[in-house]
Amino acid sequence: MATMNVSLPDLMKEWVEEQIKTGHYSNASDYVRDLIRRDQEYHDRRETLVKALIAGENSGVSDHSLEDIWQSVKARHGLDV
C-alpha cells in the first residue's frame, strides 16, 4: 500500500480526530480511505445519471404527457395513483 502525506488546517485535523473518536474509524487513514471511496461512488453514480440524461435527450420527444409519465412511475412503484 502506498503512503501519502496530507497537510490539514488545525480545524480539519480536529474534525478527523473527532470522527476517529466516534469509533467508526480506527485511524485517520481509515477515515480518508472511506471519504475517497464515497467520492468514487458519487462520481460513478453521477456519470451513470449523466449518461441516462443524454440517452433520454437523444431519444427524442415523447408522445406522452408529463401527467401520463408521472402516473406510470407512481403505478410502477405502488404509489397512490
Q: Residue 26: inside a domain, yes or no?
A: yes
Say what the pLDDT of residue 19 is.
Answer: 97
- If one counts the domains in the chain, the total is 1
- Distance CA(33)–CA(55), nearest Å, equals 33
Angular region, 9: left φ>0, alpha ψ -120 to 50, beta rest:
beta
Ordered per-residue pLDDT tens for the chain, 81 residues: 899 999 999 999 999 999 999 999 999 999 999 999 999 999 999 999 999 999 999 999 989 999 999 999 999 998 875
Task: State residue 81's pLDDT score.
Answer: 57
> What is residue 28's predicted lDDT score, i.e. its pLDDT?
97
**Grid cell listed for 52:** 441516462
Note whether residue 81 is domain-resident.
no
Domain that holds residue 37: 10-76
